[in-house]
Structure 1
Amino acid sequence: MRNAGKIMIAAVAAALSLGACANSEEPSPDAPGTGPTVSAPAPAGAPSSASQAPPSGSVTAQPEAQGKECTADDIKVTGDPGKKPEIAIPDTCKPPAKLLSKDLKQGTGAEAKAGSQLEMNYELVTWSDKAVKDNSYDRGEAFKLNLGGGDVIPGWDQGLVGIKQGARRLLIIPPDLGYKEKGAGGGQIKPNETLVFVVDAAKVG
């Protein structure tokens, strides 16, 4: 009986040890963000409690708000241009079906056009959960892109046309110009998500 008891204790200890090893090998949900690229990784600093990607073939619908579609004026942005902003999305209107842009601060110099080399600081908030998913301010490095080159989501290639150096612009990007039905970041950005960006034009070349 003593030997049987020792065998039972050893088996339980081995099972607990294996479980601990399995948990320690789970990949971290946080990976460095690299901006609004076509195939974005998990955004930097995203909360570990964010929802996982839905099963294949399913579509996550955003909660329906009552009333009309939101306009750019309905989105409240606070904070000084050039510094990390605060973005507030209301519950009283629906996400717009079309790309919306609004300059919150005017810039100077030449307007950005296809082929322009841009350096942009940005913050991204997703509409459905009103959570910050990525920003460049915490990394201390502006995101570089060739406008119109197809390296970023279409909402950026289209929405940044005309921006001038020093400007701050609000972009509200519908799913078809963002990450569409695929989402991004391993479930951090849901399928068919509306994206709200505030961008500061650090350089327009």
Structure 2
Amino acid sequence: MPVFRVPVLHMPVFLVPVLLVVSLLAAGCTGEAGRGLELTVGGAFGARPTVVFPDGRPGPGLQIDELTTGKGARLEPDDVAIVQYTAHVWDGGRNRLVDSSFTRGAPAAFPVGALLPGLDRALEGRTVGSRVIAAIPPGDGFGPNPPRGVGPSDELFYVVDILGAHHKGDAVQARGGSLAGVRVTAGARPALQVPRTAPPARFAAKVIDRGGGRRTQAGRLVVVQYAGAVWESRRVFDTTWTSGLPKAFKLGDGGVIKAWEQALVGVPAGSRVLMVVPPSYGYGAPGHPAYGVRGSDTLVFVVDVLAAY
């Protein structure tokens, strides 16, 4: 996705695959024991949990339990699940923490159906508002080639709170509008119409339809659908509407181009934003060769803000 300078979530490399091992479930309350897992998980839903491990290592096989059952939307394949989580190596000794959304200050996004086997088995069918715990053996996680910081025989233990679910094809039913001669159509899947004139030299952004949801914030997660075009050729070089899969990213940490950082902070969910992006606010002199974007290209983006966390 060329709008991003770095992967969707900006984090140390070994933590990216670790994210894909999370298991979600649904049920329970503070300080509840995991049925069959012989441990205790405390803390409120959405807050950093505490985990009291028993002596020894976990039993064999993938073990999943619900501690709190939510009443929200049910996760399906191709959904983007928004979660808070912690992950430990359960070795019967230190049981050390190896990953946590709380250390980065924002929830994480997981594409359901494109994860590790244990994670997909745990996620599908769970509901928003659920707290899930899972003990995941290597065979249902990384197998013999884990990322740095996790051993080939390490068992992983996750506590995951499901904050949101965004389905394939989710959209904002927004109005159309125009900016600097660029027009965007109304409806759930907007089209960009770029004029055959020279592009403006300055960055410009406009909220052409303002939603009524939670406002985005720097340092927090935002979920969007978007399309980007090159002004000179009027060619769409990237769009989420082709697959219908929403994208999630964190604002304010340098993970997206300067134009997005400036135009999307403070925008309420349900909004449609149109941008005209000169090179200095986009990919700069290097451009983005993989998508045919040159260092001199002015770009146009339409972004629909689905949610803010």
TM-score range relative to shorter protein:
0.5 to 0.7
Aligned AA (2:270)? G
Picking from 276, 279, 300, the partner of 1:196 is 300
Picking from 194, 203, 222, the partner of 1:118 is 222
What is the aligned partner in structure 2 of residue 49 from structure 1? none
Output the TM-score relative to the length of structure 1.
0.63
Q: Where does 1:17-166 land on structure 2 (aligned, <5 Å)? A: 34-38=1-5, 72-80=179-187, 83-92=188-197, 94-166=198-270
- Separation in 2, partners of 1:78, 1:114: 28
- Post-superposition offset of 1:187: 5.9
- Post-superposition offset of 1:109: 3.0
SS in 1 for 2:260: helix
Picking from 162, 186, 193, the partner of 2:290 is 186
- Separation in 1, partners of 2:213, 2:235: 33
- Separation in 2, partners of 1:73, 1:97: 11
Q: 1:73 to 1:178 in 2, by over 3 A?
A: closer
- Post-superposition offset of 1:180: 1.2
- Post-superposition offset of 1:103: 1.2
Aligned AA (2:253)? G
Q: 1:73 to 1:110 in 2, by over 3 A?
A: same
Aligned AA (2:283)? Y
**Number of matched residues?**
139
What is the aligned partner in structure 1 of residue 86 from structure 2? none
Deviations along 1:133-189, one digit per CA (max 9) or x if unpaired, are 110011221111111111111111111122110101101111001111111133611
SS in 2 for 1:102: strand
- Post-superposition offset of 1:110: 3.2
- Separation in 2, partners of 1:101, 1:180: 18
1:35/1:143 contact within 8 Å kept: no
- Post-superposition offset of 1:123: 0.5
Structure 1 residue runs without a partner (length 5+): 1-33, 41-70
Aligned AA (2:299)? L
**CA RMSD in angstroms, aligned pairs only:** 1.9
- Separation in 2, partners of 1:187, 1:119: 22
Q: 1:86 to 1:130 in 2, by over 3 A?
A: same
Whose helix proportion is higher, 1 or 2?
1
- Separation in 1, partners of 2:2, 2:290: 15
Output the TM-score relative to the length of structure 2.
0.42
- Post-superposition offset of 1:203: 0.7
2:259/2:277 contact within 8 Å kept: yes
Where does structure 1 differ by over 3 angstroms across 4 or more consecutive aligned residues?
none
1:113/1:147 contact within 8 Å kept: yes
- Post-superposition offset of 1:39: 5.8
1:112/1:161 contact within 8 Å kept: yes
- Post-superposition offset of 1:193: 1.1
1:39/1:184 contact within 8 Å kept: no
User: Structure 1 residues 105-114 or 158-167, which shifts more?
Assistant: 105-114
